[in-house]
Amino acid sequence: MATAAEHQTARSEPGVTGTDAASTAAYESAFDAAVAADERIEPRDWMPDAYRASLVRQIAQHAHSEIIGMQPEANWITRAPSLRRKAILMAKVQDEAGHGLYLYSAAETLGTGRDELLDKLHSGRQKYSSIFNYPTLTWADVGAIGWLVDGAAITNQVPLCRCSYGPYARAMVRICKEESFHQRQGYESLLALSRGTEAQHAMAQDAVNRWWWPSLMMFGPPDDESSHSEQSMIWKIKRHSNDELRQRFVDICVPQAESLGLTLPDPDLSWNEERGHHDFGPIDWTEFWAVLKGNGPCNEQRITQRKSAHDEGAWVREAAAAFAAKHGEAKA
Amino acid sequence: MTAPVSTTATAAAIALGDDALVLSHRLGEWAGHAPVLEEDVALANIALDLLGQARILLSMAGDEDELAYLREERAFRNVQLVEQPNGDFAHTIARQLYFSTYQSLLYGQLAGGDGAFAPLAAKAVKEVAYHQDHAEQWTLRLGDGTAESHERMQRGIDALWRFTGEMFRPVEGLGDSDGVNWEALREGWTESVTAVIEKATLTVPSGPQEGAWTAGAGRQGLHTESFGRMLAEMQHLHRSHPGASW
């Protein structure tokens, strides 16, 4: 079995070019062996084109989700009901912009650029998580997003800390730490509402009712309809199937909902002794595909805002570039 | 309700706290709208620093949430400069340049005094130095960038000039022990802002720094029209649930 060191050697051997079939085969087997041995693939290593493309798609979509995901929460910054909650929310939205930056950098190590990725987001050629197409209608939605949406994201992302691609795995380690913090704050905010006045409790329950099913959809289509899953698992980009992670999330949330004093909006939810898991009701996949295809409640609004921020900021970016050119400053 | 202004230091805590609270709120409106992701981070970071300062200052005067959410606009004591709407990015940067230069000099003086504000100022002055640097760098980039950015930056600098004079009127409640020299503050501010504006190839506005209405008005609780709307948005949820905790 080749080690990462040998793999590196194969990559950097003088006179060998990737165009000749024999050396391509050698690269491929070194790559496969490195992945099989749980070694990290690094930016300068040879990798199959499809692996590169798959990672660019996934990391870009992840980065886009962070920056589109700022909108539903930023919607409440100016209305946060206490200065403490306002500070927490501002810090969270700031972290999300930071996560977007880490992830665009990780994607750039694969030979693409942030401008190109943003262009694909703005033109709809790359997607972001379907969850951010739902509106934040009350303050409790901010707590529900922290608890459920960040909770689902963490369940999805913790295994990515062991992803085969080094820069992505390292970005995920940093991101998961911050996300866990946000998730606890979201839970704590919902708890305050749940234990607060009757109106606050009702607000919290209503938010959980609206965010529960969309959160389950964050794990993606069922395993038999997930087009990228199988290859991603072979490449160790992905470690667990969509349905497996979704089940894990449900099992985590049920006792948390109980201690919050809130119910989950699923009459079929029950403990299955034999499986050692909670059974849960059917997901409305028609809604999922509709949102994914652009017909959710806020798809249009989210992209329009993102594009207008970008377009209205064009003169600022141009100014920074012109100034840098004049003064030899690094591009802002 | 009216703020519990019982001592002179309380009046100053409210004035300085309101400056930070209101500017923080305005910067919070930028979240998700900035021209580059780095600025989404930077503006949120500055807003968060200011909110932290506001919380400490308002807590010196009473309950921070009662003061922020249950006073009406006539009871707010912030300078009118910080309540001005964001406008375009250049307008926001001009407001940042004027205010962060003021805050940097004022907190620098307070940090050197023996008064109640010295400990807060000693911590905040480090944050404010960053805010000032950020504003200065962007004033240079926009002023000396493209023709369009130059024009926009000049417009921002000009439009907000008439609100700058209010910052140099002594704040009620800051006494001799606080170590503030208002004349030196005005001179230092003028020197610093003039140098940045000129380096940015822009023209220092020649109009008055305050008019009949803006003369010390914010500090007296007389604000501009957009401020009431800003407070309506900020206070709505809190006021809808009297007595609730969050």
ipTM of the complex: 0.95
Measured between beta carbons, which residues in chain A are less than 8 angstroms from residue B52? 87
Nearest alpha carbon to residue B205 among B190, B220, B227: B190
DSSP code for A41: B
pLDDT tens digit sequence for B157-216: 999 999 999 999 999 999 888 999 999 999 999 999 999 999 999 999 999 998 766 667
Give the mean pLDDT of chain B: 94
On the question of pLDDT at A15 being above 50, the answer is no
- pLDDT value for B186: 97
pLDDT tens digit sequence for A268-326: 999 999 999 999 999 999 999 999 999 999 999 999 999 999 999 999 999 999 999 99
Q: Give the whole-angstrom CA distance, residue B183 versus residue B168.
A: 8
Tell me the average pLDDT across A146-174.
Answer: 96
Give the predicted TM-score (pTM) of the model: 0.93
B157 vs chain A: nearest CA distance in angstroms?
Answer: 16
Q: Give the whole-angstrom CA distance, residue B131 versus residue B120.
A: 16
Structural contact between residues B237 and A79, judged by C-beta atoms closer than 8 angstroms: yes
Nearest alpha carbon to residue A138 among A201, A188, A66: A201
B146 touches chain A (CB under 8 A): yes
Measured between beta carbons, which residues in chain A are less than 8 angstroms from residue B246? 81-82, 84-85, 139, 189, 192-193, 196
A106 vs chain B: nearest CA distance in angstroms?
Answer: 15
Place of tokens 């972290």: A95
Structural contact between residues B82 and B222, judged by C-beta atoms closer than 8 angstroms: no
Q: Give the whole-angstrom CA distance, residue A129 versus residue A258.
A: 27
- pLDDT value for A325: 97
On the question of pLDDT at A257 being above 70, the answer is yes
- Nearest CB among A78, A82, A199 relative to B65 is that of A82
Q: How far is CA A90 from CA A35, B42, B47, B85, in A?
A: 39, 12, 8, 19
- Nearest CB among A70, A101, A317 relative to B31 is that of A70
pLDDT range class, residue B13, cuts 50, 70, 90: very high
Q: Give the whole-angstrom CA distance, residue B96 versus residue A274.
A: 63
Structural contact between residues B166 and B84, judged by C-beta atoms closer than 8 angstroms: no
Tell me the average pLDDT across B80-108.
Answer: 98
Q: Give the whole-angstrom CA distance, residue A234 versus residue A31.
A: 12
Q: What percent of chain A has pLDDT over 90?
A: 87
Torsion angle (degrees, nearest 10) of CA B69, B73, B77, B81: 110
Q: Is A271 helix (H, G, I), strand (E, B) or coil?
A: strand
**Spatial CB neighbours of B54, under 8 Å, sequence gap ≥ 6:** A83, B17, B18, B20, B21, B24, B64, B68
B66 vs chain A: nearest CA distance in angstroms?
Answer: 9
Give the mean pLDDT of chain A: 92
B28 vs chain A: nearest CA distance in angstroms?
Answer: 7
On the question of pLDDT at A133 being above 70, the answer is yes
Tell me the average pLDDT across A170-185.
Answer: 95
The amino acid at A22: A
> Using the beta-carbon criterion (under 8 Å), do B89 and A193 form an inter-chain contact?
no
On the question of pLDDT at B91 being above 70, the answer is yes
Burial class of A12 by CB neighbour count within 10 A (0 to 12, 13 to 18, 19+): exposed
DSSP code for B218: G
Residue of B18, B33, B56, B239 to mutate, interface with A, max A Cβ within 10 Å: B33
pLDDT tens digit sequence for A35-49: 999 999 999 999 999
Structural contact between residues B29 and B184, judged by C-beta atoms closer than 8 angstroms: no
On the question of pLDDT at A25 being above 50, the answer is yes
Structural contact between residues A221 and A283, judged by C-beta atoms closer than 8 angstroms: no
| A278 strand-pairing partners | A271
Burial class of A267 by CB neighbour count within 10 A (0 to 12, 13 to 18, 19+): exposed
> Using the beta-carbon criterion (under 8 Å), do B149 and A100 form an inter-chain contact?
no
